[in-house]
Amino acid sequence: MKKIIFGPEIAPKAWAIGEAQLPQGFTLELLSKSPDQRIEQLESADFYLGFRSGIEERDYEHMKNLKLIQFLSAGYDGANLAKLKAMGIPLCNNGGANSYAVAEHAIMLMLAVSRQLPDLDRLLREGKWKSSKFGQEEEHEIAGKTIGIIGLGHIGKVLARRLAGFEVKLIYTDPVRPTPDEAKQLNVEYRAPDDLLREADIVTLHAPFDHTTHHMICERTINLMKREAILINCARGELVHEGDLYQALKEKRIWAAGLDVFEQEPADPKNPLFTLPNTVLSPHAAGPTWESWSKRWANSYTNAQRVARGEKPLWVVPELR
């Protein structure tokens, strides 16, 4: 039997999905919080499944027998890649299991910001109604707009497909470019990063967080954007310099933002961005839909089975390929 350890503890219903989908020849157990039992589990396990938050720094020295670390999340920032590389342990993310969820959430934020949905909801709950004067509307359509996708990975590609029916122009930037045939199927055109920011009406972030993307949205890059532009971030909070974004939104140097992620999480309730009327916010809720859990577990087990058969795993993070 191959032993899988999992961390951290998750909700019982989500854990039940993992137990139900567990393939034959594997056992699944929760990584203990007891130091002694934890060490025994780490040293005897074949695979680690779960999330980055389930791994403590002291765990790495006991992982030498692991054949795979498989995250159920797309993000892997915070994992000690240098140690994993030295130990020869592959780290894989979830292979796009939450790509539908994140893409849909990004579109929801685009629409909610453009149509000022929170303001309209609040207006009605306060017993008020819209202005009776025609022409005072400040809501906008996204049809006909140019949407710039920063990061054309699993999520970026699913997003492009979901936006196909909205009659928008799609441009993207990514260090890894699709083949001409795939770009044609996705109906996306490449732009250099600064050119994308200048051209897009809506900029949506779907890049991973690393040293090359840290604070990629900052005063310099915000100043390239149109005054009526919208910024959407469903990737990582660290991609955006929040102080610079706050000033730009406050001074109306860009029109609005829809944010699902923040530099500090859980977010500080006193975050200045929360005081602005031109932001729509959610608490890092884009990825974990109920439907995504079955796909997360299935992809993780598929990779564990591949490695158990002596095959190379899928979805190894770029730094360890």
Of 198, 284, 306, 319, catalytic:
284
Of 236, 238, 242, 296, catalytic:
236
103 and 72 in a single domain? The answer is no
Q: What is the predicted pLDDT for the residue at 161?
A: 98
156 and 42 in a single domain? The answer is no
255 and 165 in a single domain? The answer is yes
186 and 256 in a single domain? The answer is yes
CA nearest 95: which of 289, 316, 312?
A: 316
83 and 126 in a single domain? The answer is no
266 and 169 in a single domain? The answer is yes
Instruction: Please confirm, yes or no, whether 284 is among the known catalytic residues.
Output: yes
107 and 256 in a single domain? The answer is yes
User: Helix 154-162 to helix 99-114 angle, to the nearest 10 degrees?
Assistant: 50
- Torsion region of 255: left, alpha or beta (phi above 0 gives left; psi -120 to 50 gives alpha): alpha
Collect all residues with Cβ–Cβ distance below 8 Å to 224 and sequence separation of at least 6. 194, 197, 198
16 and 115 in a single domain? The answer is no
Q: What is the predicted pLDDT for the residue at 225?
A: 98
68 and 50 in a single domain? The answer is yes
CATH number assigned to the domain comprising residue 277 = 3.40.50.720
300 and 265 in a single domain? The answer is no
Q: What is the predicted pLDDT for the residue at 112?
A: 98
204 and 312 in a single domain? The answer is no
Q: Which domain holds residue 109?
A: 99-281
Instruction: Please confirm, yes or no, whether 236 is among the known catalytic residues.
Output: yes
**The residue to which tokens 């049809």 are assigned:** 143
Strand ranges for the chain from DSSP E: 2-7, 26-30, 47-50, 68-71, 91-92, 146-150, 169-173, 188-190, 202-205, 230-233, 256-259, 279-281
Provide the token pair at 171: 């441009």
179 and 259 in a single domain? The answer is yes
pLDDT along the chain (321 residues), means of 10: 97 98 98 96 98 96 97 92 96 95 98 96 92 79 98 96 97 96 98 98 96 96 98 98 98 98 96 97 95 97 98 95 87
Instruction: Please confirm, yes or no, whether 138 is among the known catalytic residues.
Output: no
pTM check: above 0.75 = yes
CB 301 within 8 A of CB 25: no
Q: What is the CA radius of gyration of the chain?
A: 22
Of 9, 265, 291, 311, catalytic:
265
CB 308 within 8 A of CB 25: yes
Count how many domains the chain has. Answer: 2
CA nearest 203: which of 237, 158, 173?
A: 173
CB 59 within 8 A of CB 38: yes
